[in-house]
Chains A and B, each alone.
Chain A
Protein backbone atom coordinates (compact mmCIF):
# COMPACT_ATOMS: atom_id res chain seq x y z
CA UNK A 1 0.00 0.00 0.00
CA UNK A 2 2.70 2.44 0.96
CA UNK A 3 4.69 1.42 -2.09
CA UNK A 4 1.70 2.07 -4.31
CA UNK A 5 1.02 5.46 -2.79
CA UNK A 6 4.68 6.39 -3.06
CA UNK A 7 4.68 5.27 -6.70
CA UNK A 8 1.57 7.37 -7.31
CA UNK A 9 3.08 10.40 -5.60
CA UNK A 10 6.30 10.13 -7.63
CA UNK A 11 4.40 9.74 -10.89
CA UNK A 12 2.17 12.63 -10.02
CA UNK A 13 5.15 14.84 -9.25
CA UNK A 14 6.76 13.85 -12.53
CA UNK A 15 3.59 14.60 -14.48
CA UNK A 16 3.25 17.97 -12.78
CA UNK A 17 6.86 18.87 -13.51
CA UNK A 18 6.50 17.84 -17.14
CA UNK A 19 3.23 19.74 -17.50
CA UNK A 20 4.91 22.79 -16.01
CA UNK A 21 7.84 22.57 -18.39
CA UNK A 22 5.58 22.14 -21.41
CA UNK A 23 3.24 24.97 -20.41
CA UNK A 24 6.23 27.22 -19.77
CA UNK A 25 7.57 26.37 -23.21
CA UNK A 26 4.16 27.14 -24.68
CA UNK A 27 4.14 30.53 -22.97
CA UNK A 28 7.66 31.23 -24.20
CA UNK A 29 6.62 30.17 -27.69
CA UNK A 30 3.63 32.51 -27.84
CA UNK A 31 5.93 35.39 -26.99
CA UNK A 32 8.84 34.20 -29.14
CA UNK A 33 6.60 33.70 -32.13
CA UNK A 34 5.23 37.22 -31.97
CA UNK A 35 8.64 38.73 -31.31
CA UNK A 36 10.56 36.82 -33.99
CA UNK A 37 7.75 37.23 -36.50
CA UNK A 38 7.88 40.95 -35.77
CA UNK A 39 11.64 41.15 -36.12
CA UNK A 40 11.54 39.29 -39.42
CA UNK A 41 8.94 41.75 -40.71
CA UNK A 42 10.81 44.87 -39.47
CA UNK A 43 8.37 45.32 -36.62
CA UNK A 44 8.97 45.15 -32.87
CA UNK A 45 6.30 42.73 -31.68
CA UNK A 46 4.75 43.25 -28.24
CA UNK A 47 6.55 46.03 -26.39
CA UNK A 48 4.17 47.36 -23.77
CA UNK A 49 3.77 44.73 -21.02
CA UNK A 50 6.96 44.59 -19.04
CA UNK A 51 10.42 45.38 -20.40
CA UNK A 52 10.43 44.68 -24.15
CA UNK A 53 7.03 43.02 -23.74
CA UNK A 54 8.34 39.88 -22.05
CA UNK A 55 5.31 39.68 -19.75
CA UNK A 56 2.90 39.53 -22.71
CA UNK A 57 2.03 35.80 -22.23
CA UNK A 58 1.03 36.57 -18.64
CA UNK A 59 -1.16 39.46 -19.74
CA UNK A 60 -2.72 37.30 -22.46
CA UNK A 61 -3.44 34.57 -19.93
CA UNK A 62 -5.10 36.96 -17.50
CA UNK A 63 -7.14 38.52 -20.29
CA UNK A 64 -8.35 35.18 -21.65
CA UNK A 65 -9.11 33.90 -18.16
CA UNK A 66 -11.47 36.76 -17.45
CA UNK A 67 -13.16 36.86 -20.84
CA UNK A 68 -16.78 35.91 -21.20
CA UNK A 69 -17.37 32.33 -22.27
CA UNK A 70 -19.79 32.54 -25.17
CA UNK A 71 -21.62 29.48 -26.47
CA UNK A 72 -23.24 30.24 -29.83
CA UNK A 73 -26.94 29.63 -30.34
CA UNK A 74 -27.65 26.19 -31.74
CA UNK A 75 -24.31 24.80 -30.64
CA UNK A 76 -24.08 21.33 -29.16
CA UNK A 77 -23.09 22.42 -25.67
CA UNK A 78 -21.54 19.18 -24.46
CA UNK A 79 -19.45 18.72 -27.58
CA UNK A 80 -18.62 22.41 -27.65
CA UNK A 81 -17.14 22.13 -24.17
CA UNK A 82 -15.53 18.76 -24.82
CA UNK A 83 -13.57 19.73 -27.94
CA UNK A 84 -11.02 22.13 -26.39
CA UNK A 85 -10.48 19.81 -23.43
CA UNK A 86 -9.90 16.86 -25.73
CA UNK A 87 -7.45 18.82 -27.87
CA UNK A 88 -5.58 20.10 -24.85
CA UNK A 89 -5.37 16.78 -23.02
CA UNK A 90 -4.27 14.93 -26.12
CA UNK A 91 -1.53 17.39 -26.93
CA UNK A 92 -0.21 17.30 -23.35
CA UNK A 93 -0.46 13.56 -22.84
CA UNK A 94 1.95 12.75 -25.66
CA UNK A 95 4.88 14.11 -23.66
CA UNK A 96 4.63 11.18 -21.26
CA UNK A 97 6.90 8.98 -23.39
CA UNK A 98 9.41 11.63 -24.46
CA UNK A 99 12.80 11.13 -22.78
CA UNK A 100 13.99 14.62 -21.81
CA UNK A 101 17.27 13.37 -20.40
CA UNK A 102 19.47 10.30 -20.08
CA UNK A 103 18.07 6.92 -19.11
CA UNK A 104 19.06 7.23 -15.45
CA UNK A 105 17.40 5.43 -12.59
CA UNK A 106 16.98 6.73 -9.07
CA UNK A 107 16.28 4.66 -5.98
CA UNK A 108 13.81 6.17 -3.51
CA UNK A 109 12.84 3.87 -0.63
CA UNK A 110 13.25 0.80 -2.78
CA UNK A 111 11.47 2.28 -5.78
CA UNK A 112 13.33 2.59 -9.08
CA UNK A 113 12.15 5.66 -10.95
CA UNK A 114 13.33 7.24 -14.18
CA UNK A 115 13.46 10.97 -13.55
CA UNK A 116 13.56 12.14 -17.17
CA UNK A 117 10.77 10.11 -18.71
CA UNK A 118 7.31 9.83 -17.19
CA UNK A 119 6.38 6.51 -18.79
CA UNK A 120 9.08 4.42 -20.47
CA UNK A 121 6.70 2.14 -22.37
CA UNK A 122 7.91 -0.15 -25.12
CA UNK A 123 5.42 1.18 -27.72
CA UNK A 124 6.25 4.86 -27.30
CA UNK A 125 6.05 5.76 -31.00
CA UNK A 126 2.77 3.95 -31.51
CA UNK A 127 1.40 5.72 -28.45
CA UNK A 128 2.33 9.13 -29.85
CA UNK A 129 0.84 8.34 -33.26
CA UNK A 130 -2.37 7.13 -31.65
CA UNK A 131 -2.61 10.21 -29.44
CA UNK A 132 -1.95 12.52 -32.38
CA UNK A 133 -4.85 10.88 -34.25
CA UNK A 134 -7.20 11.52 -31.35
CA UNK A 135 -6.17 15.16 -31.50
CA UNK A 136 -7.94 15.42 -34.85
CA UNK A 137 -11.20 14.52 -33.09
CA UNK A 138 -10.99 17.60 -30.91
CA UNK A 139 -10.62 19.79 -33.97
CA UNK A 140 -13.43 18.10 -35.88
CA UNK A 141 -15.75 18.16 -32.86
CA UNK A 142 -14.97 21.81 -32.22
CA UNK A 143 -15.69 22.63 -35.84
CA UNK A 144 -18.91 20.67 -35.97
CA UNK A 145 -20.42 21.61 -32.60
CA UNK A 146 -20.04 25.38 -33.10
CA UNK A 147 -23.00 25.56 -35.51
CA UNK A 148 -21.05 27.86 -37.79
CA UNK A 149 -20.16 27.42 -41.43
CA UNK A 150 -16.60 28.63 -40.99
CA UNK A 151 -15.99 26.29 -38.08
CA UNK A 152 -17.45 23.35 -39.99
CA UNK A 153 -15.33 24.07 -43.05
CA UNK A 154 -12.25 24.36 -40.85
CA UNK A 155 -13.04 21.09 -39.11
CA UNK A 156 -13.58 19.28 -42.40
CA UNK A 157 -10.32 20.58 -43.79
CA UNK A 158 -8.55 19.56 -40.60
CA UNK A 159 -9.95 16.05 -40.86
CA UNK A 160 -8.77 15.56 -44.43
CA UNK A 161 -5.41 17.20 -43.79
CA UNK A 162 -4.56 15.40 -40.58
CA UNK A 163 -5.50 12.00 -42.01
CA UNK A 164 -3.41 12.57 -45.15
CA UNK A 165 -0.34 13.78 -43.36
CA UNK A 166 -0.54 11.41 -40.39
CA UNK A 167 0.11 8.64 -42.86
CA UNK A 168 3.32 10.32 -43.97
CA UNK A 169 4.42 10.88 -40.39
CA UNK A 170 3.88 7.21 -39.60
CA UNK A 171 5.66 6.01 -42.72
CA UNK A 172 8.57 8.40 -42.23
CA UNK A 173 9.14 6.92 -38.78
CA UNK A 174 9.31 3.34 -40.04
CA UNK A 175 12.87 3.75 -41.29
CA UNK A 176 13.98 4.87 -37.85
CA UNK A 177 12.15 1.96 -36.24
CA UNK A 178 13.94 -0.45 -38.58
CA UNK A 179 17.30 1.03 -37.61
CA UNK A 180 16.66 1.11 -33.88
CA UNK A 181 14.78 -2.18 -33.71
CA UNK A 182 12.52 -0.76 -31.03
CA UNK A 183 9.39 1.34 -30.61
CA UNK A 184 10.50 2.79 -27.29
CA UNK A 185 11.73 6.36 -27.57
CA UNK A 186 14.29 5.72 -24.83
CA UNK A 187 15.87 2.86 -26.76
CA UNK A 188 15.71 4.74 -30.07
CA UNK A 189 17.54 7.65 -28.47
CA UNK A 190 20.14 5.41 -26.91
CA UNK A 191 20.78 3.72 -30.27
CA UNK A 192 22.00 7.11 -31.57
CA UNK A 193 24.59 7.69 -28.84
CA UNK A 194 28.20 8.50 -29.60
CA UNK A 195 28.41 11.50 -31.89
CA UNK A 196 26.31 13.16 -34.52
CA UNK A 197 27.30 10.63 -37.21
CA UNK A 198 25.27 8.08 -35.30
CA UNK A 199 22.14 10.21 -35.36
CA UNK A 200 19.59 8.63 -37.65
CA UNK A 201 19.49 11.69 -39.90
CA UNK A 202 23.10 10.77 -40.80
CA UNK A 203 22.76 7.09 -40.11
CA UNK A 204 26.29 5.74 -39.77
CA UNK A 205 26.58 2.22 -38.41
CA UNK A 206 27.73 1.97 -34.79
CA UNK A 207 31.27 1.05 -35.92
CA UNK A 208 31.62 3.50 -38.79
CA UNK A 209 31.24 7.01 -40.09
CA UNK A 210 29.72 6.49 -43.56
CA UNK A 211 26.03 7.52 -43.78
CA UNK A 212 24.90 4.19 -45.12
CA UNK A 213 21.51 4.21 -43.38
CA UNK A 214 20.79 7.90 -43.71
CA UNK A 215 17.21 8.94 -42.89
CA UNK A 216 17.55 12.43 -44.37
CA UNK A 217 14.56 12.03 -46.68
CA UNK A 218 12.46 10.58 -43.89
CA UNK A 219 13.51 13.54 -41.76
CA UNK A 220 12.37 16.05 -44.39
CA UNK A 221 9.10 14.18 -44.86
CA UNK A 222 8.58 14.06 -41.11
CA UNK A 223 9.23 17.76 -40.60
CA UNK A 224 6.94 18.84 -43.45
CA UNK A 225 4.20 16.45 -42.37
CA UNK A 226 4.67 17.53 -38.77
CA UNK A 227 4.10 21.15 -39.76
CA UNK A 228 0.99 20.03 -41.62
CA UNK A 229 -0.27 17.96 -38.71
CA UNK A 230 0.01 20.83 -36.26
CA UNK A 231 -1.99 23.04 -38.68
CA UNK A 232 0.79 25.55 -38.98
CA UNK A 233 1.58 27.88 -41.85
CA UNK A 234 2.02 27.00 -44.76
CA UNK A 235 -0.49 24.21 -44.04
CA UNK A 236 -2.88 26.24 -41.86
CA UNK A 237 -5.95 25.64 -44.00
CA UNK A 238 -8.11 24.52 -41.03
CA UNK A 239 -7.66 27.95 -39.45
CA UNK A 240 -7.09 30.00 -42.58
CA UNK A 241 -7.57 33.51 -41.29
CA UNK A 242 -8.23 35.15 -44.63
CA UNK A 243 -10.82 32.57 -45.68
CA UNK A 244 -12.41 31.09 -42.54
CA UNK A 245 -12.08 33.85 -39.90
CA UNK A 246 -10.28 31.51 -37.48
CA UNK A 247 -11.32 28.11 -38.82
CA UNK A 248 -12.47 25.50 -36.37
CA UNK A 249 -12.18 27.78 -33.30
CA UNK A 250 -14.00 30.75 -34.79
CA UNK A 251 -16.79 30.61 -32.20
CA UNK A 252 -14.59 29.98 -29.18
CA UNK A 253 -13.67 32.63 -26.64
CA UNK A 254 -12.06 32.90 -23.26
CA UNK A 255 -10.40 29.88 -21.75
CA UNK A 256 -11.68 27.49 -24.41
CA UNK A 257 -9.94 29.56 -27.04
CA UNK A 258 -6.83 29.59 -24.87
CA UNK A 259 -7.01 25.79 -24.68
CA UNK A 260 -7.07 25.48 -28.46
CA UNK A 261 -4.19 27.88 -28.94
CA UNK A 262 -2.00 26.37 -26.25
CA UNK A 263 -2.83 22.90 -27.57
CA UNK A 264 -1.56 24.00 -30.96
CA UNK A 265 1.68 25.23 -29.46
CA UNK A 266 2.00 22.14 -27.27
CA UNK A 267 1.65 19.89 -30.29
CA UNK A 268 4.34 21.94 -32.00
CA UNK A 269 6.58 21.24 -29.02
CA UNK A 270 5.62 17.56 -29.18
CA UNK A 271 6.49 17.29 -32.87
CA UNK A 272 9.79 19.05 -32.14
CA UNK A 273 10.52 16.63 -29.30
CA UNK A 274 9.75 13.60 -31.47
CA UNK A 275 11.86 14.92 -34.33
CA UNK A 276 14.74 15.63 -31.97
CA UNK A 277 14.47 12.18 -30.34
CA UNK A 278 14.13 10.19 -33.54
CA UNK A 279 16.38 11.95 -36.02
CA UNK A 280 18.75 14.23 -34.11
CA UNK A 281 19.74 11.88 -31.32
CA UNK A 282 17.50 13.23 -28.58
CA UNK A 283 19.53 14.10 -25.52
CA UNK A 284 22.80 12.85 -27.02
CA UNK A 285 25.49 15.45 -27.57
CA UNK A 286 26.85 15.71 -31.13
CA UNK A 287 30.21 14.40 -29.84
CA UNK A 288 30.91 11.12 -28.02
CA UNK A 289 30.15 11.31 -24.32
CA UNK A 290 29.80 14.61 -22.50
CA UNK A 291 32.13 17.40 -21.48
CA UNK A 292 31.15 16.91 -17.84
CA UNK A 293 32.42 13.33 -18.05
CA UNK A 294 35.77 14.44 -19.44
CA UNK A 295 36.32 16.87 -16.59
CA UNK A 296 35.31 14.24 -14.08
CA UNK A 297 31.79 15.28 -13.11
CA UNK A 298 29.89 12.18 -14.24
CA UNK A 299 27.02 12.86 -11.87
CA UNK A 300 26.30 16.17 -13.66
CA UNK A 301 26.29 14.73 -17.19
CA UNK A 302 22.50 14.83 -17.24
CA UNK A 303 22.61 18.64 -17.23
CA UNK A 304 24.49 18.61 -20.50
CA UNK A 305 22.17 16.00 -21.96
CA UNK A 306 19.08 18.01 -21.09
CA UNK A 307 20.68 21.17 -22.45
CA UNK A 308 21.32 19.44 -25.78
CA UNK A 309 17.76 18.15 -25.90
CA UNK A 310 16.39 21.62 -25.19
CA UNK A 311 18.67 23.13 -27.82
CA UNK A 312 17.43 20.71 -30.45
CA UNK A 313 13.79 21.22 -29.53
CA UNK A 314 14.13 24.99 -29.60
CA UNK A 315 15.91 24.75 -32.95
CA UNK A 316 12.85 23.02 -34.37
CA UNK A 317 10.52 25.52 -32.72
CA UNK A 318 12.49 28.33 -34.29
CA UNK A 319 12.16 26.57 -37.63
CA UNK A 320 8.37 26.57 -37.16
CA UNK A 321 8.38 30.33 -36.60
CA UNK A 322 10.84 30.94 -39.41
CA UNK A 323 8.71 28.99 -41.85
CA UNK A 324 5.64 30.88 -40.70
CA UNK A 325 7.36 34.20 -41.30
CA UNK A 326 8.35 33.18 -44.82
CA UNK A 327 5.84 31.00 -46.60
CA UNK A 328 2.32 31.72 -47.86
CA UNK A 329 -0.53 29.27 -47.40
CA UNK A 330 -0.96 26.37 -49.82
CA UNK A 331 -4.12 25.92 -51.80
CA UNK A 332 -6.23 22.93 -50.80
CA UNK A 333 -5.54 20.88 -53.94
CA UNK A 334 -1.83 21.70 -53.67
CA UNK A 335 -1.88 20.45 -50.09
CA UNK A 336 -3.50 17.16 -51.06
CA UNK A 337 -1.34 16.63 -54.13
CA UNK A 338 1.80 17.37 -52.13
CA UNK A 339 0.79 14.97 -49.39
CA UNK A 340 -0.30 12.04 -51.51
CA UNK A 341 1.81 12.37 -54.64
CA UNK A 342 5.11 13.66 -53.25
CA UNK A 343 5.47 12.94 -49.55
CA UNK A 344 3.90 9.48 -49.56
CA UNK A 345 6.06 8.00 -52.38
CA UNK A 346 9.20 9.42 -50.77
CA UNK A 347 8.27 7.90 -47.42
CA UNK A 348 7.51 4.52 -49.01
CA UNK A 349 10.73 4.55 -51.04
CA UNK A 350 12.63 5.42 -47.90
CA UNK A 351 11.23 2.36 -46.14
CA UNK A 352 12.21 0.07 -49.02
CA UNK A 353 15.70 1.51 -49.39
CA UNK A 354 16.34 1.45 -45.65
CA UNK A 355 15.15 -2.14 -45.45
CA UNK A 356 17.41 -3.21 -48.34
CA UNK A 357 20.48 -1.44 -47.00
CA UNK A 358 19.76 -2.80 -43.57
CA UNK A 359 19.53 -6.32 -45.00
CA UNK A 360 22.85 -5.94 -46.86
CA UNK A 361 24.67 -4.00 -44.10
CA UNK A 362 23.10 -5.06 -40.81
CA UNK A 363 23.81 -2.91 -37.77
Chain B
Protein backbone atom coordinates (compact mmCIF):
# COMPACT_ATOMS: atom_id res chain seq x y z
CA UNK B 1 0.00 0.00 0.00
CA UNK B 2 1.52 3.26 -1.05
CA UNK B 3 1.38 6.32 1.13
CA UNK B 4 -1.18 7.96 -1.16
CA UNK B 5 -3.66 5.10 -0.96
CA UNK B 6 -3.12 4.94 2.79
CA UNK B 7 -4.03 8.61 3.15
CA UNK B 8 -7.07 8.06 0.93
CA UNK B 9 -8.15 5.18 3.13
CA UNK B 10 -7.90 6.93 6.46
CA UNK B 11 -9.61 10.10 5.19
CA UNK B 12 -12.48 8.10 3.57
CA UNK B 13 -11.58 9.79 0.29
CA UNK B 14 -13.64 7.48 -1.92
CA UNK B 15 -16.67 7.83 0.33
CA UNK B 16 -16.36 11.60 0.28
CA UNK B 17 -16.32 11.58 -3.54
CA UNK B 18 -19.61 9.69 -3.47
CA UNK B 19 -21.06 12.02 -0.84
CA UNK B 20 -20.08 14.98 -3.00
CA UNK B 21 -21.89 13.45 -5.97
CA UNK B 22 -25.15 12.99 -4.06
CA UNK B 23 -24.86 16.47 -2.56
CA UNK B 24 -24.37 18.02 -5.99
CA UNK B 25 -27.53 16.27 -7.15
CA UNK B 26 -29.35 17.73 -4.14
CA UNK B 27 -28.05 21.23 -4.84
CA UNK B 28 -28.73 21.08 -8.58
CA UNK B 29 -32.15 19.52 -8.15
CA UNK B 30 -33.68 18.70 -11.53
CA UNK B 31 -36.21 15.91 -11.15
CA UNK B 32 -36.88 13.69 -14.15
CA UNK B 33 -40.18 12.61 -12.61
CA UNK B 34 -43.38 13.32 -14.50
CA UNK B 35 -46.31 13.59 -12.08
CA UNK B 36 -48.36 11.22 -14.23
CA UNK B 37 -52.05 11.80 -13.60
CA UNK B 38 -51.47 15.55 -13.42
CA UNK B 39 -49.04 15.88 -16.31
CA UNK B 40 -48.63 13.51 -19.23
CA UNK B 41 -45.75 12.94 -21.56
CA UNK B 42 -46.12 13.71 -25.24
CA UNK B 43 -46.69 10.54 -27.20
CA UNK B 44 -44.62 9.74 -30.30
CA UNK B 45 -46.29 10.29 -33.68
CA UNK B 46 -46.56 6.61 -34.49
CA UNK B 47 -47.94 5.68 -31.07
CA UNK B 48 -49.97 2.48 -31.16
CA UNK B 49 -52.79 2.80 -28.68
CA UNK B 50 -56.35 1.54 -28.38
CA UNK B 51 -57.84 -0.05 -31.49
CA UNK B 52 -60.95 1.40 -33.12
CA UNK B 53 -63.32 0.76 -36.01
CA UNK B 54 -63.75 3.62 -38.45
CA UNK B 55 -66.56 5.03 -40.56
CA UNK B 56 -66.77 6.88 -43.85
CA UNK B 57 -67.80 10.51 -43.91
CA UNK B 58 -71.40 9.55 -44.58
CA UNK B 59 -71.49 7.43 -41.43
CA UNK B 60 -71.34 3.97 -43.00
CA UNK B 61 -68.96 1.46 -41.50
CA UNK B 62 -65.81 0.86 -43.44
CA UNK B 63 -65.54 -2.73 -42.37
CA UNK B 64 -66.50 -5.25 -45.04
CA UNK B 65 -66.27 -8.33 -42.82
CA UNK B 66 -63.39 -9.95 -44.71
CA UNK B 67 -61.83 -11.58 -41.60
CA UNK B 68 -58.28 -10.65 -42.64
CA UNK B 69 -57.71 -8.88 -39.32
CA UNK B 70 -58.78 -12.00 -37.48
CA UNK B 71 -56.32 -14.03 -39.57
CA UNK B 72 -53.52 -11.53 -39.02
CA UNK B 73 -53.95 -11.19 -35.29
CA UNK B 74 -51.20 -13.14 -33.46
CA UNK B 75 -53.05 -13.31 -30.14
CA UNK B 76 -56.55 -14.03 -31.42
CA UNK B 77 -57.99 -10.83 -30.14
CA UNK B 78 -60.48 -10.30 -32.94
CA UNK B 79 -63.61 -12.28 -33.75
CA UNK B 80 -65.64 -11.29 -36.78
CA UNK B 81 -69.04 -12.60 -37.78
CA UNK B 82 -69.48 -11.68 -41.41
CA UNK B 83 -72.83 -11.35 -43.20
CA UNK B 84 -74.32 -10.23 -46.49
CA UNK B 85 -75.70 -6.78 -46.79
CA UNK B 86 -79.45 -7.39 -47.14
CA UNK B 87 -80.52 -6.96 -50.75
CA UNK B 88 -76.97 -6.61 -52.08
CA UNK B 89 -75.53 -10.10 -52.61
CA UNK B 90 -72.04 -8.88 -53.54
CA UNK B 91 -71.55 -6.77 -50.49
CA UNK B 92 -70.68 -7.97 -47.05
CA UNK B 93 -70.27 -6.36 -43.65
CA UNK B 94 -69.34 -7.35 -40.11
CA UNK B 95 -72.56 -8.32 -38.39
CA UNK B 96 -70.68 -8.77 -35.11
CA UNK B 97 -67.17 -7.66 -34.32
CA UNK B 98 -65.48 -8.43 -31.00
CA UNK B 99 -62.10 -7.48 -29.63
CA UNK B 100 -60.84 -9.05 -26.43
CA UNK B 101 -58.47 -6.25 -25.46
CA UNK B 102 -57.10 -8.19 -22.47
CA UNK B 103 -55.07 -10.21 -24.99
CA UNK B 104 -54.12 -7.47 -27.41
CA UNK B 105 -50.42 -6.72 -27.64
CA UNK B 106 -50.85 -3.62 -29.81
CA UNK B 107 -48.68 -4.89 -32.64
CA UNK B 108 -50.84 -3.18 -35.25
CA UNK B 109 -50.86 -6.14 -37.65
CA UNK B 110 -54.66 -6.02 -37.95
CA UNK B 111 -54.43 -2.42 -39.05
CA UNK B 112 -51.82 -3.35 -41.64
CA UNK B 113 -53.89 -6.29 -42.81
CA UNK B 114 -57.13 -4.39 -43.32
CA UNK B 115 -57.72 -3.86 -47.07
CA UNK B 116 -60.18 -1.00 -46.57
CA UNK B 117 -58.46 0.83 -43.69
CA UNK B 118 -61.40 0.12 -41.44
CA UNK B 119 -59.22 -0.30 -38.35
CA UNK B 120 -57.21 2.44 -36.72
CA UNK B 121 -54.98 2.79 -33.70
CA UNK B 122 -55.89 5.70 -31.51
CA UNK B 123 -53.67 7.51 -29.02
CA UNK B 124 -55.71 6.36 -26.04
CA UNK B 125 -53.86 4.32 -23.43
CA UNK B 126 -55.69 4.88 -20.14
CA UNK B 127 -57.90 1.82 -20.37
CA UNK B 128 -57.43 0.28 -16.92
CA UNK B 129 -60.71 -1.10 -15.53
CA UNK B 130 -61.71 -2.97 -12.40
CA UNK B 131 -63.57 -5.71 -14.27
CA UNK B 132 -61.73 -7.22 -17.21
CA UNK B 133 -64.99 -8.19 -18.87
CA UNK B 134 -65.27 -4.52 -19.68
CA UNK B 135 -62.33 -4.97 -22.03
CA UNK B 136 -64.19 -7.44 -24.27
CA UNK B 137 -65.39 -4.79 -26.69
CA UNK B 138 -68.14 -5.20 -29.27
CA UNK B 139 -68.67 -3.40 -32.55
CA UNK B 140 -70.60 -0.46 -31.12
CA UNK B 141 -67.94 0.26 -28.54
CA UNK B 142 -65.16 0.05 -31.11
CA UNK B 143 -67.03 2.33 -33.46
CA UNK B 144 -67.58 4.78 -30.60
CA UNK B 145 -63.84 4.83 -29.89
CA UNK B 146 -63.22 5.49 -33.58
CA UNK B 147 -65.82 8.26 -33.62
CA UNK B 148 -64.25 10.14 -30.72
CA UNK B 149 -60.64 9.59 -31.77
CA UNK B 150 -60.89 10.21 -35.50
CA UNK B 151 -63.30 13.10 -36.02
CA UNK B 152 -62.09 13.63 -39.58
CA UNK B 153 -63.40 10.74 -41.65
CA UNK B 154 -62.31 9.40 -45.01
CA UNK B 155 -64.48 10.13 -47.99
CA UNK B 156 -66.66 7.32 -49.30
CA UNK B 157 -65.40 6.41 -52.74
CA UNK B 158 -67.67 5.70 -55.65
CA UNK B 159 -67.64 2.12 -56.74
CA UNK B 160 -66.85 1.25 -60.30
CA UNK B 161 -67.93 -2.28 -60.81
CA UNK B 162 -70.21 -4.42 -58.70
CA UNK B 163 -67.65 -7.20 -58.65
CA UNK B 164 -64.87 -5.12 -57.14
CA UNK B 165 -67.18 -3.33 -54.79
CA UNK B 166 -66.31 -6.08 -52.33
CA UNK B 167 -63.18 -4.24 -51.30
CA UNK B 168 -64.69 -0.78 -51.74
CA UNK B 169 -61.57 0.16 -53.71
CA UNK B 170 -61.71 2.79 -56.39
CA UNK B 171 -59.91 1.33 -59.41
CA UNK B 172 -60.32 4.47 -61.44
CA UNK B 173 -57.02 5.81 -60.11
CA UNK B 174 -55.12 2.83 -61.42
CA UNK B 175 -53.39 3.15 -64.80
CA UNK B 176 -55.65 1.95 -67.54
CA UNK B 177 -54.77 -1.21 -69.42
CA UNK B 178 -54.13 -0.70 -73.11
CA UNK B 179 -57.02 -1.99 -75.17
Show the binding face of A for B, using Cβ within 8 Å: 36, 38-44, 47, 322-323, 325-327
Q: Are B22 and A40 in contact (CB under 8 A)?
A: yes
* Besides A326-B15, A326-B22, 11 other A-B contacts (C-beta < 8 A): A39-B26, A40-B22, A40-B25, A40-B26, A42-B32, A42-B33, A43-B31, A43-B32, A322-B19, A322-B23, A326-B19
- Distance in angstroms from A226 CB to nearest chain B CB is 16
Nearest CB in chain A: distance from B5 CB, A: 15
Closest to B23 in A: A322
Task: Tell me if B35 is interfacial: C-beta within 8 Å of chain A.
Answer: yes
B interface, by DSSP: helix, strand, loop or mixed?
helix
In the complex, chain B residues 41-58 whose Cβ is within 8 Å of any chain A Cβ: none
B21 within 8 A of A: yes
State whether B33 touches A43 (Cβ < 8 A): yes
A231 to chain B, nearest CB (A): 19
Specify which chain B residues have a CB less than 8 angstroms from the CB of A42 in the assembled complex.
25, 29-33
Residue in A36, A44, A325 whose beta carbon sits within 8 Å of that of B33 in the complex:
A44
From residue A346, how far is it (CB to closest CB) to chain B in Å? 10
Cα-based distance from A322 to B21 in the complex (angstroms): 11
At the interface, yes or no: B87 with Cβ under 8 Å from chain A?
A: no
- Please give the distance in Å from B68's CB to the nearest CB on chain A: 46
Q: Let me know if B33 and A322 touch, CB within 8 A.
A: no
A38 contact set on B, CB distance < 8 A: 31
Q: What residues of chain A lie closer than 8 Å to B29, measured between beta carbons?
A: 39, 42
Give A45 Cβ to nearest chain B Cβ, in Å: 9
Quote the shortest CB–CB distance from A198 to chain B (angstroms). 25
Give residues of chain B (2-45) contacting chain A, Cβ–Cβ below 8 Å: 15, 18-19, 21-23, 25-26, 29-33, 35
Q: Contacts of B25 on A, CB cut-off 8 Å?
A: 39-42
A18–B47 Cα distance when bound, in Å, is 58
Q: How far is the CB of B123 from chain A (nearest CB, A)?
A: 26
Taking CB atoms, residues of chain A closer than 8 Å to B32 are 42-43
Smallest beta-carbon distance A144→chain B, Å: 34
| Minimum CB–CB distance for B91 against chain A, Å | 55
Measured CB to CB, the nearest residue on chain A to B34 is A44
What would be 18 A-B contacts, judged by CB atoms less than 8 Å apart?
A36-B26, A39-B26, A39-B29, A39-B31, A40-B22, A41-B25, A42-B25, A42-B30, A42-B31, A42-B32, A43-B31, A43-B33, A47-B35, A322-B19, A322-B22, A322-B23, A326-B21, A327-B18
- Tell me which residues across on chain A come within 8 A of B21, comparing CB atoms: 326
Cα–Cα distance between A39 and B29 once the two chains are bound (Å):
6
Contacts of A322 in B (CB 8 A): 19, 22-23
| Distance (whole angstroms) from the CB of B7 to the closest CB of chain A | 15
Residue of A nearest to B25 (CB): A40
Among A43, A47, A322, A325, residue most surrounded by chain B Cβ atoms (within 10 Å): A325
- When distances are taken between beta carbons in the complex, the residues of chain B under 8 Å from A47 are 35
Least Cβ–Cβ distance between B39 and chain A, in angstroms: 11
Chain B residues near A36 (CB, 8 Å)? Answer: 26
B9 to chain A, nearest CB (A): 10
A40 cross-chain contacts in B, Cβ below 8 A? 22-23, 25-26
Q: What separation, in Å, do the CA atoms of A44 and B32 have in the docked complex?
A: 8
Complex Cα distance, B33 from A322, in Å, reads: 21
Of all A-B residue pairs in the complex, the 3 with the closest CB atoms, nearest first, are A40-B22, A326-B18, A326-B22
Q: Which B residues are CB-close (under 8 A) to A41?
A: 25
Q: Which of B15, B22, B30, B35 contacts A325 (CB 8 A)?
A: B22
The docked-state distance in angstroms from the alpha carbon of A43 to that of B19 is: 17
Nearest chain A residue, comparing its CB with the CB of B21: A326
Shortest Cβ distance from B31 into A: residue: A44
